[in-house]
Amino acid sequence: MEVTFNNSGAINRAHYALVQKIENASSPSLADDAIIQEIDTIRRRFAKAGFTPDSRACREWLLILLHCSMAMTFELPRSDYLEFALPAAVGLAGGGAKLSDRRVGYEFCAAVMPPEHELHLMLVNTFRKDLESRDETHICLALDMLLQVSSSDVVPAIQSRLEDLLSHKSFQVKRRAMATFKTLSRHNPDLLQRTTRKIFKRLRDDVVASSAFSLAAELVKAGMISGIEVGHAAVEVIQKDRSNSQGRRIHSPAVAAIRCVGQLIVIDPNSGEVKSLAEVLIQKCLTSSKSSKIVLECFRALSVTPEPILMMVLSPSSDLQHPVSGIHYMLMSKDPNLHYTFLACLLAIDVKLWVGVDEAIPAQLQENEVHRIMSFLDGSDLTIRRMTIQLLYRVDPAILEAWFSRFIESTPSPTSTTLATCEVYASRALEVSTVLDAENGEAFASRLKVVLQAVQVPHKDAAGKDSPRRGRAHDEGSGAGVNAVLESVVEPVLDRLRESTDEFRKTFVEKTLQDLQESFTGVAAPVPTATVICAAVACEYSQLVTLPPSTVAEGLTNCLATSPGVQEALLIALTKVVAMFDDESSPVAVVTRVEELLKQSRKHMRHRCDQFLRLVKDKAMLKTVVQNAKSQTLPDILLAIEEQFRKLPKPVTSPSSASSRAVSPRGAAGPSALRYDAYDAPGASRRKSQDRHQVRTRRPSQTPSTRSSAAYSEEFQRSPILNGEDPLAQTITPAGLVALAEGDEGLRNFAVGNHIQPGGPSIVSEALASKVDLITLESPFHAEPPTGIAEALKNDIQADPSSGISEESFLQSFDVSWNSIKSTTRGWSESPPATVAGTLQDAGLGFIMAFPSIEAGIKAKDQTFHDNEILGMLLTSDGQISAAIRLRPGEDDSSLWILKCDTLELKSLIKNALQGDG
C-alpha cells in the first residue's frame, strides 16, 4: 500500500497495519490468516482481567472487527467468532461518550448479534433508555437502529413511548417513528392499532406526509382504517399541489400521495373509486408535465390500474387528453434524465394504450419520434439503451431482430479495429441478444457465437506463440481485439447464467460445449472470448449436461494453443472436469498435452501446469480440492488449488547447496557452471576477535582518491570470511571480493566492514555488477523462482551491528527519501529485479542497492518492504538523496519498478537506463 498513515483514513496504526497486511498478502488465504490473527489479538485485549477500554479504544476495536468481518475472503471459523465483543458493543451503545461512539456500538450489534442472543434484552433496555431521552439525536439514533435490529422482544418495551413520539415536535423524530411502526408491525401486526388516532393528522402534515401515506397504506391493507378516507386525503393533497417544475424537494407530499393512490388501487382494484382516482392521476400528469418526478409517479400508479378502466378513461369519447401527450417534449430534449423519464413512462403502461394497435386509442407517437427512440440504441448511456431495447421488444420483437441483423452486417473487420471498438460492438449486440433470447438458452448460445465471430477472428496459431501475453494492455491499435478476451462480454454472460432458470442454464451449456467439440472439425478453434466462456461454464455447470467428462476435457484440451491468460482458465476448468472422471478413466491425452505445454511455457504457466499434473496423479487430493472449493466457479477453484498446495510441506533445501550458489546481479548465465576454475581465497593472518568487525573509517581530510586500493585489499585479506572462520566463507562471489578490493567509490561511501548483520539488507555496490564478468557462474534465474535471489544474496553477504551502515539506518534513510520526494513514476521491465539493479549500476549513476531481510520483516515508519524487493538510493556529491527506487518481482521473471525523483533530467537518465534493460 503506497499510502502513508496520515493519508490512509485508518483509525489508528493497528488498523493501518492490518490493511497493509491484507493488501500485501500473496494469496486470499494468507490475507484471511492475517485477519484471524488480528481478531484473536483484539479478543485477548477484551479478555484481559480487570481491563475496561475507554469509549475511544472500544470504538476503534469494534470498527476494526467490522472491517475484518467484511474483508474475509472465506467464512470465519465459526458463526459466533465475533460475539466475544458483544458485551463491549452493548456497553458502548448505552454509555458511549460521544454519539458517534454509541452509533458504532449499535452498528456492531446490528451486524453481529443473533436475534435470540442473551444480550438482546440488554440492547432492548438501551433502546428504551434512548427513546425516553430528551435529546433529539439520541432518539433518532435509537429509531434508526430499531429499523435494523427489530424483533418481537422490543415491542412491549417501547410501544407506549413510540406512540408518544408520533406527536413529537421534531419532524425527524415523527418521520422515523412512523417508519419504525411499519417495520415492527411485521412482528406484531396489532401494533399498528396505536397509530389510527393520529394518522390522518399526519397525512396533512407536508413535512412527514411521505412516511404518513406509507403507513396509511399498511393500515388500509390491515383493515384498520378505510381506504376511501385515505384516498380522499390523498386526492386532496394531489389537487392542492401546484408544482410544475423540476423541483428538488425530497419529501414532496404530492409524490407520496400519488404513490399511496397506487397502493390503494392494488389493495382493492375493484373499488368504485378506482376510475375517479385514475382520472385524478391523468389530470395531474397533464397539469404537472414539467415535473418529471410527479409525472413518473402518475404513470407508475396508472400501471396498476385495471386495463378496462384505462381504456374507458383514455377513449376518444372521454374529455381527458392522453397522458403521453404531455411528455412529448421529453423525447426531443437533450437531457438524458428526461429521456429516462419518457422511456420509463411508456414502459409503465401497456403498449396497447399508446402504440395504436387498438382502434379505440390512436397512436400517440409520430414517425420522427419513433426514429428518435431508435437512435437511443446507438447512444452511450447503458440504462437508456436497455430501456429502449425493452420498449421495442414489447412493441414488436421483429424490430429488434431486423436491427440485430443489420448491426452484425455493419460490424467492421476485427483486424482493422481497436480493442475498445470490438468491445463496444460486442456489448451492444449482446444487450439485444439478452432480450431476444430471454427464455431460450440454446438460442442465446447460438446468437452469442455469431456475435463473437463477427467481432473476433478464430485463433489459428497452433503453438500459441504469436498470441498476446496481456490481452487488454498489449496493444490498443488496429487489430488489438483479434486475440484479446473481451471482458465486457464474459462477465455479463456468466452473470446472466447465474440469474437464469435451470432449464435456460442447461440448454445454454449443452449448446456451448457441443459447439466447442464441433469447432475442431471445421475451420478453426473458437475465438479467445468464447474459449474463456467455455472454460467457465465447463467448470461451473458441466455436471448439468449429458456429455461425458472425457468429451468435455478433450474439447478444452484442444483449445490450449492460445494466450497464457486463456490457458490458465482452461487448466482450472480441466481440473474440475478431470475430477469428474470415473476411477477407471485416465486422462492420458490431457496429461500429454499439458506436459507439452509445460515445456513451451514461461514460469507462471509452468507453475499452473505443474499443479495440474500433480493433482491428476493424486486423485484423492484432486477430489479434495474440488470439494473444498467455496463454489465451482473458476476463481473459487483456483483459490482451493492454491490453498491445497499451501498446506503441502515445502521441500527442504540443503544449506550448503543453497549457499554455494553465487548470484550474478546481471542475471546473465553461461552455458556451463564455470568458464575456468575459481581461484582460492588469498590467505591472511587471523585477527583478534575484538577487532574482527571493526570498520576502518576515513579521516575528514582524507578523500577517496588518497586511499589506495592496496589498503582495502589488505583489510579484506584480514577478514574472517577470507580466513575460513565464517561458515559462509566460500559463498561470497569472487567478483564481489575483487570489487571490494579495488576500493570502489560507492563502497567507500557505504563501508560495511567485513560482515553485514544477519537479517539486514545486503548492500550491493556498483562493482558487483560492473565487474561480474571476471567469473561467470550458471545463473539461478533460469531454474529457480525469484525467492532464491534474495536468499542466495542473503547468504553471500551478511551485516554487522558495528558496521558503518546498519540495517535500521539504511531503511530509515530510504523511508525519509521515499516520503519526501513527491514525483512518482512506475513501469514494467521484462527482466528480474536483480538484473534491473545491475543495469542501473552499470549506467554509472551511482545507485546504492539493498535487499530488505525476509525473516526480520523490517518495517520503516510508513513503508512495508516486500519479500524479494530491491531498494535503491542515489546520492549526490553532498550526501543528499536525489532519487529512490523500488524493484519488485513480477510474473515470468519480470519486475515492477517504482521511481521517485524530483529532477526531470535525472529522472530521464534513469528511465532511459530502465527502458534500455527491458
Stretch among 71-75, 370-374, 386-390, 753-757 having the lowest mean pLDDT: 753-757
- CB neighbour list of residue 491: distance below 8 Å, 6 or more residues apart: none
The answer to whether residue 655 sits within a structural domain is: no
Q: How far apart are CA 65 and CA 59, in angstroms?
A: 10
Greater pLDDT, 916 or 613: 613
Q: Which of 284, 307, 280 is nearest to 294 (CA)?
A: 284
Any idea of the CA torsion for 174, 179, 182, 185, to the nearest 10 degrees? -80
Inform me whether the pLDDT recorded for 408 exceeds 50: yes
> Which of left, alpha, beta for 892 (phi over 0: left; psi -120 to 50: alpha)?
left
The answer to whether residue 769 sits within a structural domain is: no
- Which of 70, 89, 114 is where one domain is finished? 114
Greater pLDDT, 847 or 189: 189
- CB neighbour list of residue 907: distance below 8 Å, 6 or more residues apart: 823, 825, 883, 899, 901
Any idea of the CA torsion for 551, 554, 559, 560, to the nearest 10 degrees? 150
Inform me whether the pLDDT recorded for 715 exceeds 80: no
Greater pLDDT, 25 or 774: 25
The answer to whether residue 613 sits within a structural domain is: yes
Share of the chain above pLDDT 70, in %: 74
Q: Which of 566, 595, 590, 561 is nearest to 578 (CA)?
A: 590
- Which of 646, 676, 708 is where one domain is finished? 646
Inform me whether the pLDDT recorded for 756 exceeds 70: no
- Which of 587, 618, 646 is where one domain is finished? 646
Stretch among 325-339, 435-449, 749-763, 800-814 having the lowest mean pLDDT: 749-763
Q: What's the burial of 8, exposed, middle or buried (CB within 10 Å: 0-12/13-18/19+)?
A: middle
Inform me whether the pLDDT recorded for 752 exceeds 60: no
Average pLDDT for 615-642: 91
Task: State which residues form the domain around 31.
Answer: 1-114
Termini Cα distance of the chain: 25
pLDDT of residue 484: 80
Q: What's the burial of 51, exposed, middle or buried (CB within 10 Å: 0-12/13-18/19+)?
A: exposed
pLDDT band at 546 (very low <50, low <70, confident <90, very high): confident
pLDDT of residue 784: 38
Chain centre distance of CA 267: 43
pLDDT band at 40 (very low <50, low <70, confident <90, very high): very high
Q: How far apart are CA 354 and CA 344, in angstroms?
A: 14
Greater pLDDT, 51 or 154: 154
pLDDT of residue 865: 62
Condensed to tens digits (0 to 9), the pLDDT of residues 195-214 reads 998 999 999 888 898 899 99
Greater pLDDT, 152 or 349: 349
The answer to whether residue 865 sits within a structural domain is: yes
Greater pLDDT, 563 or 37: 37
pLDDT band at 482 (very low <50, low <70, confident <90, very high): low
| 495-507 per-residue burial string, b: 16 or more CB within 10 A, e: under 16 | ebbeebeeebbbb
- CB neighbour list of residue 495: distance below 8 Å, 6 or more residues apart: none
CATH classification at residue 823: 3.30.310
pLDDT of residue 360: 78
Greater pLDDT, 415 or 385: 385
At 721, list the grid cell. 570470511
Average pLDDT for 427-439: 93
The answer to whether residue 522 sits within a structural domain is: yes
Q: Are 489 and 423 in contact (CB under 8 A)?
A: yes
pLDDT of residue 520: 55
Chain centre distance of CA 619: 33
pLDDT of residue 836: 85
pLDDT of residue 892: 66
- Half-sphere exposure in the Cβ direction for 186 (13 Å, CA): 10
The answer to whether residue 584 sits within a structural domain is: yes
pLDDT of residue 37: 92
- Half-sphere exposure in the Cβ direction for 177 (13 Å, CA): 26
Q: For the residues of 384-446, what is the DSSP string, one character each?
A: HHHHHHHHHHHH-HHHHHHHHHHHHHTPPPGGGS-HHHHHHHHHHHHHHHHHHTSS-HHHHHH
pLDDT of residue 330: 94
Condensed to tens digits (0 to 9), the pLDDT of residues 329-358 reads 999 999 999 999 999 999 999 998 998 887
pLDDT of residue 539: 94
Average pLDDT for 241-252: 61
pLDDT band at 916 (very low <50, low <70, confident <90, very high): low
Q: How far apart are CA 530 and CA 315, in angstroms?
A: 52
Q: How far apart are CA 135 and CA 96, in angstroms?
A: 14
Q: Which of 367, 9, 316, 907 is nearest to 897 (CA)?
A: 907
pLDDT band at 763 (very low <50, low <70, confident <90, very high): very low
pLDDT of residue 458: 52
Average pLDDT for 554-578: 90
Q: Are 566 and 533 in contact (CB under 8 A)?
A: no
Q: What's the burial of 98, exposed, middle or buried (CB within 10 Å: 0-12/13-18/19+)?
A: exposed
The answer to whether residue 471 sits within a structural domain is: no
Inform me whether the pLDDT recorded for 282 exceeds 90: yes
Q: What are the angstrom distances between the C-alpha of 661 and each of 667, 762, 841? A: 13, 16, 22
pLDDT band at 527 (very low <50, low <70, confident <90, very high): confident
Q: How far apart are CA 283 and CA 304, in angstroms?
A: 17
- Which span out of 1-5, 94-98, 435-439 was modeled with the highest average pLDDT? 435-439
Q: Which of 828, 840, 846, 822 is nearest to 897 (CA)?
A: 828
**pTM summary value:** 0.65
The answer to whether residue 513 sits within a structural domain is: yes
Q: Which of 192, 117, 196 is nearest to 153 (CA)?
A: 117
DSSP H helix total and E strand total for the chain? 42, 7
Share of the chain above pLDDT 90, in %: 40
pLDDT of residue 837: 85
Average pLDDT of every residue of the chain = 77
Condensed to tens digits (0 to 9), the pLDDT of residues 591-617 reads 999 999 999 888 889 999 999 999 999
Average pLDDT for 576-594: 87
Q: What's the burial of 335, exposed, middle or buried (CB within 10 Å: 0-12/13-18/19+)?
A: exposed
Domain count, the chain: 3
Average pLDDT for 69-98: 88
pLDDT of residue 803: 38
- CB neighbour list of residue 99: distance below 8 Å, 6 or more residues apart: 137, 138, 141
pLDDT band at 646 (very low <50, low <70, confident <90, very high): confident
Average pLDDT for 432-439: 93
Inform me whether the pLDDT recorded for 536 exceeds 70: yes
